[in-house]
Structure 1
Amino acid sequence: MNLAIDVGNTRVKTAVFHGDNLIEVTIFPVEKIISEIKFITKKYTLNDAIISSVAFISEKKLEKLRKILVLLEVSSAMKLPFHNLYKTPKTLGADRIALIAAATKSFPNKNVLVIDAGTCITFDFLDKNNNYFGGAISLGIEMRFKALHKFTKKLPLLEKKLLDNFIGQNTQESINSGVVNGVIQEIEGVIGQHKKKYLDLTIVLTGGDTNFLSKQLKSSIFANQNFLLEGLNGLFIFNKNK
């Protein structure tokens, strides 16, 4: 068995795998990473792990993790199961690398658009010849609410709600419509752009807002909140077998 560790901006998500089989997923705050990893490794007697991080992890914490596990750290320099045609490969985030790795394994020989709706919304495209070209990075739902509150003097800070009507009839409804409907239209628009060029497009939606958004999107999608973790596991196996 091995452990996949996804360090996000505010939380850590881990998954224990036995081969390709997902055994358990755990989510906890970033500040508890050492104690939680210790608990998981003792529970399952784990020795190996792969880690992806979009947030800064101090070298001190990494050293502590390396004392607990043999760590494989995701980067563009590692062996990848796809052709990385990104113009600045060293700047490609570890999370996006893992997502594309998941796409290569789950949908071989397919044109795939992976949408990760979390703190940011990322769009990543892999063609049927296993070529990764890049994508787009946009603001996530929570970030949009916070931006409206921070950069204006009177708009309140709200939490997302499902849309009853895209026409807001008060300030709260108008903010919610602007953010939520804006995100939905943006995602549908990006999907539409890709479909014009690639008719046989497979669309994957993942990330923290997967369940919220999947109920409101009209496009046919595969919704999988653990897609990144599956990609990390795939990268681990791919590099271990090389």
Structure 2
Amino acid sequence: MHLLIDQGNSRTKACLYKEGVFTDVVLSELTPTDWLSIKQGLIGSVAAAEQQQQLQSLLPASLAVRWLRSTAQAFGISNSYQQPEKLGVDRWLAILGAAALYPNQSLLVIDAGTAVTMDWLSADGVHAGGWILAGLHTQQRILVSATAQVEAAALSLHPLQPGTSTTAAVAEGAKAAVLGAVQQAIQLRRIERVVLTGGDGAFIQQQLNNNAVLLEPKLIFYGLARFIDNN
């Protein structure tokens, strides 16, 4: 049994992995017996150092833990960054997870959360770079904090339409910005599949309504799992 942890900017997700099966868990609810069954912990974190320390404090001192970082190459995949470690490890793990699920295919890998990240991967495993933009809810928060008399709205699942109030206009504008960027990314380079993950991944998939757009909620965990017993 292995413990896989994806620590983002806004939340931490964890699962237990055994023989190809991912089981969601809450760290604070794991029992002493559970901890004894875990061979190793693998962590991908983009959180601040203080948050990483808080996470470390939740783990038994006896547990072998590996904090993963982005590298120049892994599992036949090449990182395009001149300083590979500067690529967010969440993006790197999503790329590695997508490559494992859809090998030898040209992919656009999208993680839609606090930020929306988009990364292109060629069929021969070369990362071509990516884009980063504010996520749907982040865009609304930024505008609300910088503008008087503007309020954020809950995310609606209906297709894009003009907003008939300032609140609705902000929400629709955020949707338009993200969906427009995704559509531009799809057109920019030849790809066979779009692989989505993140909290707003299902929303983007629904809005695009394209059979080549696939949702993989555990994409980063697939990337983490590739490092099991690999040093």
TM-score under structure 1 length normalisation: 0.84
Q: Which residue of structure 2 aligns with residue 88 of structure 1? A: 83
Runs (5+) with no aligned partner, structure 1:
28-32
Helix, strand or coil for the counterpart of 1:99? helix
> Once the 2 structures are TM-superposed, how far is the Cα of residue 57 of structure 1 from its aligned partner?
3.9
CA contact (8 A) 2:152 2:167 kept: no
Match of residue 18 from structure 1: 18
Deviation at 1:144, TM superposition (A): 0.6
Shift, 1:14, TM fit: 0.8
Residue 65 of structure 1 is matched in structure 2 by 59
Alignment of 1:1-242 (within 5 A): 1-22=1-22, 24-26=23-25, 35-36=28-29, 38-39=30-31, 42=34, 45-58=37-50, 60-61=53-54, 62=56, 65=59, 67-77=61-71, 80-81=74-75, 82-163=77-158, 166-194=161-189, 198=190, 200-219=191-210, 220-237=212-229, 239=230
Residue 215 of structure 1: SS of its match in structure 2?
Answer: helix
Alignment-derived partner of residue 30 in structure 1: none
**1:140-198, CA deviations, whole angstroms, 9 ceiling, x for partnerless residues?**
0110110110110111122211235511222222122111122112211211112xxx2
Percent identity over the alignment is 28
Deviations 1:217-236 (A, max 9, x none): 14330111111111111232
Q: Match for 2:20: what amino acid?
A: D
Q: Distance in 2 between matches of 1:68 and 1:164?
A: 50
Q: Larger helix proportion, structure 1 or 2? A: 1
The answer to whether the 8 A contact 1:114-1:204 is kept is yes
Alpha-carbon distance change, 153 to 56 in structure 1, aligned in 2, over 3 angstroms: same
Cα distance in 2 for partners of 1:66, 1:89 equals 31
How far does the alpha carbon of each residue in 1:31-71 deviate from its partner, in whole angstroms, 9 at most, with x for none?
xx5x34x5487267112011000102447543663614211
Measured in 2, the distance between the counterparts of 1:126 and 1:88 equals 18
Worse overlay, 56-65 or 167-176? 56-65
Contiguous gaps of at least 5 residues in structure 2: none
Partner amino acid for 1:185? G
Q: In 2, Cα distance between the equivalents of 1:75 and 1:206? A: 20
Find the residue that maps to 2:116 and give its secondary structure: strand
Q: State which drifts further: 42-51 or 118-127.
A: 42-51
CA contact (8 A) 1:101 1:235 kept: no
Letter in 1 for 2:186: I
State the alpha-carbon separation in 1 of the partners of residues 32 and 213 from structure 2.
32
Distance 2:80 2:72 in 1: 15
Structure 1 pair 165/65, CA: closer, same or farther in 2 (3 Å)?
Answer: closer
Which one-letter code corresponds to 1:25 in the other structure? Answer: D
Distance in 1 separating the partners of 2:204 and 2:31: 33
Distance 1:41 1:85 in 2: 42
Query: Cα deviation per residue 1:201-222 (whole Å; 9 max; x = unaligned)?
Result: 2110110112222211143301
Letter in 1 for 2:47: A
